Structure 1
Amino acid sequence: MTVVDELVPSRYAQRVGDIEVLVISDGVLPITASTLATNADAADLAAWLEDMFLPPEVLDWPLNVAVVRSGDQTILIDSGLGLEFPGFPRAGQLAMRLQAAGIAPAAVTDVVLTHLHMDHVGGLLADGLRGRMRPDLRIHLASAEAEFWSSPDFSRTVMPAPIPDVLRTTASRFLEVYRSQLRPFETEYEVAPGVRVCRTGGHTPGHSIVRVESGGQRLTFAGDAVFQPGFENPQWHNGFEHDPEEAARVRVRLLREMAATGESLVATHLSFPSVCRVAVAGDAFRFVPTVWDY
């Protein structure tokens, strides 16, 4: 695999006490703007998009993963999209960018999956990583998530027509390939010192977040619990949410907690590197980007 010199940064290191968090961009993928707020008035969504200088029909959706080093463990949080989806040629960069960061796939001791949507597990099915991970790799996933994908319910989602079948196929294939390495948990599990994965539900029944804490500092990788519109409009439903009302409740609880603690937030689909803090703004919230530490 050839690693090219890229004109834009694709990884960002953030220390949390004694723990190193490396946010890595897997690229961007297109998303229909209406998917960001399926229950919003069309004029309200159009006004929000205009205020954010975003196109009205289709926009680029950032895709972030993270590598966490705690003690002698190297933990990959999600794995991006992979390379086998021709409609998304600008995503699926993880294997190349891990190599550019000097992280060999065999050095990864654990994987934490926030959920089994294809843009979170596809990287582990791609040639750049599949077959190059260590044989004793531990993959941590909520039991409820694995159970859900045995017979997934898309009745409350609002996705483009081909997507549910692709999600179903990808999740089934992932479970088939990696089932022997799964380490399922019920509610939460300490993956490494200072690194806990906690099930939230909502986005999917087993959707989980990762809490990192060391030396009095905290950071949460929120997966798909928070999207870009979710700060100003936390009640807006995303079309990929399998239980949109519960997803909104999870989002509000999480954002309230983070505003109270002042901890850092990283999420899959916030603009890279997505490291930010949360402030309360009336009945909603405000995204406060962290100043880059060069």
Structure 2
Amino acid sequence: MTTYLNHPAPRASSFLPDSGQSSSTLDGHQPIGAAGFEELVPSRYALRVGDIDVMVVSDGVLPLPTETMSTNVDPVVRAAWFKDMFLGPDAFDWALNVLVVRSGEQVILVDAGLGGQFPGFPRAGQFPKRLKAAGIELSAVTDVIITHMHMDHIGGLLVEEVKARLRPDIRIHVAASEVAFWKAPDFSQTSMPEPVPDVLRTTANQFMNEYGSKVRTFEDEYEVAPGVVAKVTGGHTPGHCVVYVNSCGERLTFAGDALFPVAFEHPDWQNGFEHDPEESVRVRVRLLQEAAASGELFVATHLPFPSVGRIAVDGDAFRWVAGFWDY
């Protein structure tokens, strides 16, 4: 069993003048949620990895059927797990997290959430207003890393107000194998709700039409800024990548869609959105083993916000150790 007694807690970031905590109090009789509060809970969390500032921003939540979390598992077993987690039984809210990283003079957005152009998901597509509420202008973003081209990772860049506020020289980094895959995507091993494949295909095409001239492809890995490296893992999609943030002997991994909430107890459970389910399992186990061995901070797109914690080995499986908030 790996222990973490010598690993420091996440440290508050200097990304912002404050840590997103309101200075207001509930003195007097002001009701919770009264006028003047844009959101009761600011959905952002800032920390530091060495000398690099990192912020996790919630793009909201996306309702999905529970069966997408375990397509290779007996429905009775799946139902029992969701019941134990006080979720389901038929659907649950899938968290959507994006990352903002400041390294030197570069401000890097990792993924862009769902956007607001897809009907039926009113609680997703929140990252533009939450980024603004955090004091970060889209015009300050120098680079975007796309972990993969599913609509809940690129849709935010297709929102008109986002497109209008991005700088004209924005650099968008995507694995070459990911770009190639979406020219003729293969959904034969996926198990998605019926309309989703067509929407994914259309959104990927729209993304390349809008941003193709700004896309910079890489093969295996690429250092986008000092200490910020995108590395291809494959599995979830052929060009799926993770992002490593390294500074002063500390590391944070943003795992994208390499794992989902069920992955710690059941890393072998396959997800309906995985284009290569068996390879996804291998990628997932390898990333979890690496994180458990190093004690690094770990964040993923679909873990409950703020999705900052560490991984421990638990027999033949793993255990999520949530980070203590430092603010």
For the criterion TM > 0.5, the same-fold answer is yes
Partners in 1 of 2:255 and 2:68 — Cα distance? Answer: 19
- The one-letter amino acid of 2:202's match is T
Q: 1:284 aligns with which of 288, 307, 317?
A: 317
> Which of 96, 104, 129 pairs up with 1:63?
96
- Tell me whether 1:196 sits opposite 2:229 in the alignment: yes
The C-alpha deviation readout for 1:68-122, integer Å capped at 9, x for no partner, is 0000000000000001011101000011011101111110000000000000000
* Percent identity over paired residues: 64
1:224 aligned residue (257, 260, 280)? 257
Higher deviation after alignment, 56-65 or 125-134: 125-134
Q: Secondary structure at the match of 1:50?
A: helix
In the alignment, structure 2 segments of 5+ residues that lack a partner are 1-35
Corresponding residue number in structure 1 for 2:121? 88
Asked if structure 1 preserves the Cα contact closer than 8 Å seen for 2:42 and 2:130, the reply is: no
The RMSD of aligned alpha carbons is 0.9
User: 2:47 & 2:139 partners in 1: Cα distance?
Assistant: 22
Q: Is the 8 A contact 2:242 2:256 kept in 1?
A: yes
Q: Which residue among 139, 154, 178 is the counterpart of 1:121?
A: 154
Q: Distance in 2 between matches of 1:87 and 1:80?
A: 15
Which residue identity does 1:140 align to in structure 2? Answer: H
CA radius of gyration, larger in: 2
- Count of residues in Structure 1 that have an aligned counterpart in Structure 2: 292
Deviations 1:183-226 (A, max 9, x none): 10000000000000000000000000000010111000000001
Query: C-alpha separation between the residues in 2 aligned to 1:213 and 1:195?
Result: 7
Question: Equivalent residue for 2:80?
Answer: 47
What SS does the corresponding residue of 2:206 show, helix, strand or coil?
Answer: helix
Distance 1:252 1:269 in 2: 17
Q: Does 1:267 align with 2:275?
A: no
Rounded to whole Å, the distance in 2 between the matches of 1:41 and 1:68 is 40
AA aligned opposite 1:268: T
Partner of 1:16: 49
| Structure 1 unmatched runs, 5+ | none
Q: Distance in 2 between matches of 1:97 and 1:7?
A: 12
The aligned amino acid for 2:216 is R
Rounded to whole Å, the distance in 2 between the matches of 1:128 and 1:278 is 38
Which amino acid in the other structure matches residue 44 of structure 2? R
Matched residue, 2:38? 5
SS of 1:232's equivalent in the other structure is coil
Letter in 1 for 2:142: T
CA positional deviation for 1:9: 2.8
With the length of structure 2 as denominator, give the TM-score of the two structures: 0.88
Offset at 1:249? 0.2
The answer to whether the 8 A contact 2:189-2:274 is kept is: yes
Distance 1:241 1:87 in 2: 22
Q: 1:26 aligns with which of 59, 80, 84?
A: 59
Deviations 1:130-181 (A, max 9, x none): 1211111000000000000000000000000000000000000001100000
Runs of 4+ in 1 over 3 A off after TM superposition: none
Is the CA contact (8 Å cut-off) linking 2:228 and 2:246 kept in structure 1? yes
Separation in 1 of the partners of 2:271 and 2:259? 10
Which residue pairs with 1:72 in the alignment?
105
Tell me by how many angstroms 1:4 deviates.
Answer: 5.6
SS in 2 for 1:129: helix
CA distance in 2, matches of 1:145, 1:235: 24
Match of 2:276 in 1: 243
2:18 alignment counterpart: none
Distance between the aligned counterparts of 1:14 and 1:231, measured in 2?
24
Q: How far apart, in 1, do the equivalents of 2:213 and 2:37 lie? A: 35
SS in 2 for 1:121: helix
| Correspondence 1:152 to 2:221 | no
The CA distance in 2 between the partners of 1:249 and 1:131, in whole Å, is 40
Matched, 1:252 2:285: yes
Partner amino acid for 2:194? A
Specify the SS of the correspondent of 1:128.
Answer: helix
